[in-house]
Amino acid sequence: MLIQLLNKISEKYASKWLVLLFDILVVIATFFLAYLIRFNFQIDFDFITLLTQIPYVAVIAAISFIAVGSYKGVVRFTGFKDIINIIIGANILATTLILCTFLSRKILGSESLLNLSGSVIYIHLLLNILFLIGAKLFIKSIYNSITQDFHSVSNVLIFGAGNSGMLTYDAIENDTKSGLNVIGFIDDDERKIGKKINLLKVYSIESIDVQFIKNKALEDVIISIQNIEPTRLLQITGHLFSLGLKVKIVPPVQSWIDGDLSVGQIKEVRIEDLLGRDPINIKNPDLEEQYDNKVILITGAAGSIGSEICRKVSLYNYKKLVLIDNAESALYDIQQEFLQQGLENIEAIVADVRNKTRIDQIFNLHKPKIIFHAAAYKHVPLMENNPYEAVSVNIGGTKNVADIAVKHSVDKFVFISTDKAVNPTNVMGATKRIAELYVSCLKGKGHTKFITTRFGNVLGSNGSVIPLFKKQIEKGGPLTVTHKDITRYFMTIPEACQLVLEAAAMGSGGEIFVFDMGEPIKIFNLATNMIILSGLRYPEDINIKITGLRPGEKIYEELLADGENTKKTYHDKIMIAKSRQLDILTVEKQINKLTAINSLTQPLEIVSSIKNLIPEYISNNSTYEVLDIKK
């Protein structure tokens, strides 16, 4: 009941006119005190004159405080700007009293009621600053202490004793419901370590150990450094995670609401923050023109990447969005998502890219101008056991949509590939590489511009390692990693889709766009970070099991194939892979032969045909390694 009462009280604020009245009463009290100080605390002055001067002082004070708006501040949230306002208001009051004294002496002589002593005015000014600020900070302190006594409070350290750290400290102090109590700062700057800021000590990261945490009852650390190096962020979080601390992070200044940080914007560190590189951001005003009043068709629209492309494109002034997928439930979900947002001119169609007649019918009906081809089979172990399906969808499906795009004079065809297509070691990667080759063969064969985007693993996508680890953590572990040294390039779904949209705008046809994705991440380290981010310990709470490489799996991924190099674009994170010259007629003939293979054909025969087309395809940890021995 008491907590509920406090919550109700906390939702109410004192009237600004009541605050103004309080300030004026303080000014009157300090005016009397100024006289006492001036006359050594003896009543050696005309008390009646003092009483007649008080109304004038009160009126001038009211005008001064109204002018600067100091009375509008919420007392419990008094901050630096409020203090500055009070000081300015007190100075306006003192300056006005000096001017009134000077004018009254000139006009009315020394007998004027406003003939104030200069020393009284200056003493009054100092007392006003002291008592007005002190009273408000005292009320704020009392309020905070009362509310904190009835709410659970976590002791936190702020990493970063600079400007951003101080703004974070102010945001926490001004939010009485934050449940956070700042007990100090951490900083890498040796000049700051050991010193105090707002009476709080600055510590080094090395001094934060188990004993320190126990003595200070420390629970959280808030990282408040703008533009922190990703590698340094990994080091800091790794150290703090190993001590069982929760780590939160302050967002970039650009995302602060109206330029001010609120405690609600401070979030726990996510896996995306630990990619070991800066987030990739693309801002291209030309994108609006690219998609303006266009019919846009997306295959694989219900998948992780396809659905996010749909969401991104829906933000533009499109003419119609045509969403194609053969997964009816997932397609229904994305359709309902758009309907609930009130978006119009969106057509969800259940169709299979392998059905050329059906796809042609859709193109003929809707006449799309931009195609995003995301439909594919992507799970490496499954495709290793089902090469016919990989060929029919990843190669045959791409070939169907690409051929029909040429037939209907589509403006742009954006093909979504993978880094597993580079020097492939598995069926899935090899089929995606062949699809890349077929798209390249179509350059200049019609009006359509063919563009390929190639990127690494996508965090949070269906079937990716992150959702798998989350499920394993929920079940109590262990987390399964195929090899302790296995590494992968990672990007977030929004980053992947930014690349796709930018490629559509940037590409002039025939390019393979790749990202500078920074350093690859060890999956084992990713697993340990996820355990700690879940509030658990490795290996005490959840262990990690090494299961051995899966069929076709690489230890290291690559972004460029043998014989490829790159050239730069206008964005420093995007490059164009310069591929070797193709014998287009031979490649097309082999692809046509491959896609015509019957479903009854033996897997070894199918994979052998793939290897003939892609010489760099060397199987790894797979039954198809026998074909490489023969070769």
Enzyme catalytic residues = 420
Bridge partners, 298 (sequence order): 323, 372
Q: C-alpha distances in angstroms, 624 versus 56, 426, 427, 617?
A: 98, 9, 9, 11
3-state secondary structure at position 520: coil
Give the ranges where 274-371 is alpha helix by DSSP (H): 286-291, 304-313, 328-340, 356-366
Give the sign of the dihedral formed by CA 146, CA 148, CA 152, CA 155: negative
Contacts of 256 (CB under 8 A, 6+ apart): 262, 265
Tell me the backbone φ, ψ of residue 371, rounded to 5 degrees.
-120, 130
Q: What is the DSSP string of 29-82?
A: HHHHHHHHHHTTTS--S-HHHHHHHHHHHHHHHHHHHHHHTGGGS-GGG--HHH
What tokens were used for 61? 């004070």
Note the residue count of the chain.
Answer: 631
C-alpha distances out from residue 163 to 159, 224, 356, 587, Å: 12, 9, 61, 60
CA angle centred on 12, ends 10 and 16, rounded to 5°: 125
Output the CA–CA distances (angstroms, integers) from residue 607 to 272, 412, 431, 451, 554, in the order listed: 36, 31, 10, 27, 18
Taking the C-alpha atoms of residue 562 and residue 422, their distance in angstroms, rounded to an integer, is 8
Q: Can you tell me whether residue 298 is helix, strand or coil?
A: strand
